[in-house]
């Protein structure tokens, strides 16, 4: 992949591995895009959580999607990540989507899947990386907020940006309403970004993700 085809026959759906830590609404939005035919040539191979009681796991099981837990509490990062990587390989995952996965990945994990890990973050990066990005943006007083889907590299919320969706911050907003409106954008953005990456119709120049003319 990367510049940029995934190694698979065009007839085979590309297999996603989705990593979560909680609610899993971004995972469910991806699942719904696939079900509705908006996101084509893709299937969810497995959902993996580092938190045993993550609500998204139950949703995955209800949808008949394989779900696995690797509890990260008290574990060394590299060892935990090696278990997760093993599970992803068992499920023959082509592309990894972090969807509310609230744990930094080890350099070994990132190196094992070059340009094959995506993340969604609820701010217009590089503003407000890290935790509670929406609250950070609200408190800072920005007039425009949004979300970013990007490739994952070894730095937190840092890799090449695939797409961003922006919304105005309203006078009437509070952190709760702003978070909810950003989440609505996240649910659209992640499937759009996956479609772009799956198409292979892009190249990465420096930090710039550039769509080829062939992409609709
Ligand atoms: C989402 O807002 C996602 O952008 C954020 O966690 C939430 C997970 O919600 N991720 C980060 O802040 C990562 N830095 P979900 O479990 O309902 O998808």
**Tens digit of pLDDT for each residue in 111-160?**
999 999 999 999 999 999 999 999 999 999 999 999 999 999 999 999 99
What's the CA-to-centroid distance between 131 and ligand 1, angstroms? 9
Residues 122, 186 contacting (CB under 8 angstroms): yes
117-121 and 95-98 beta bridge pairing: parallel
- Residue ranges in the chain assigned as alpha helix (H): 25-35, 55-62, 77-90, 107-112, 133-140, 175-199
DSSP annotation of 4: B
- For residue 53, CA distances in Å to 23, 29, 44, 48, 100 come to 10, 20, 20, 12, 14
Which of these, 115, 97, 111, lies nearest to 192 by C-alpha position?
97
The predicted structure's pLDDT at residue 9: 66
Which residue, judged by its Cα, is nearest atom 10 of ligand 1?
100
The predicted structure's pLDDT at residue 161: 98
> Who lines ligand 1 at CB under 6 A?
20, 22-26, 56, 99-100, 120-122, 133, 157, 183, 186
The predicted structure's pLDDT at residue 10: 65
Return the percentage of the chain with pLDDT > 70, whole number.
94
Average pLDDT, the chain: 95
Instruction: Please name each of the domains of the chain with its CATH number.
Output: 14-214 (3.40.50.170)
Residues 108, 122 contacting (CB under 8 angstroms): no
Say whether pLDDT at 3 is over 70. Answer: no
Q: Collapsing DSSP states into helix, strand and coil, what is residue 46?
A: strand
Q: Give the tens place of pLDDT for each residue, 24-78.
A: 999 999 999 999 999 999 999 999 999 999 999 999 999 999 999 999 999 999 9
Instruction: Quote the tokens at residue 61.
Output: 């099981």
């Amino acid at each position: 992949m990367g510049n940029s085809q995934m190694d698979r026959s065009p007839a085979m759906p590309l297999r996603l591995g989705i990593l979560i830590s909680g609610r899993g609404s971004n995972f469910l939005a991806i699942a719904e895009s696939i079900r509705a035919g908006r996101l084509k040539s893709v299937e969810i191979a497995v959902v993996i959580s580092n938190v045993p009681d993550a609500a998204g796991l139950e949703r995955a099981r209800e949808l008949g999607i394989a779900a696995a837990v690797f509890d990260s509490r008290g574990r060394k990062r590299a060892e935990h990540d090696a278990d997760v990587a093993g599970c992803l390989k068992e499920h023959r995952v082509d592309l990894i989507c972090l969807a509310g996965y609230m744990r930094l990945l080890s350099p070994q994990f990132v190196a094992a899947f070059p340009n094959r890990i995506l993340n969604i973050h609820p701010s217009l990066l590089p503003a407000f990386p890290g935790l509670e990005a929406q609250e950070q943006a609200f408190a800072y007083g920005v007039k425009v907020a949004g979300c970013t889907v990007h490739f994952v590299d070894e730095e937190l919320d840092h890799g090449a940006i695939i797409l961003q969706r922006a919304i105005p911050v309203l006078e009437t907003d509070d952190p709760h309403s702003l978070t909810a409106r950003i989440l609505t954008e996240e649910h659209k953005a992640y499937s759009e970004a996956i479609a772009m990456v799956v198409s292979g119709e892009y190249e990465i120049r420096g930090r710039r993700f550039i769509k080829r003319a062939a992409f609709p």
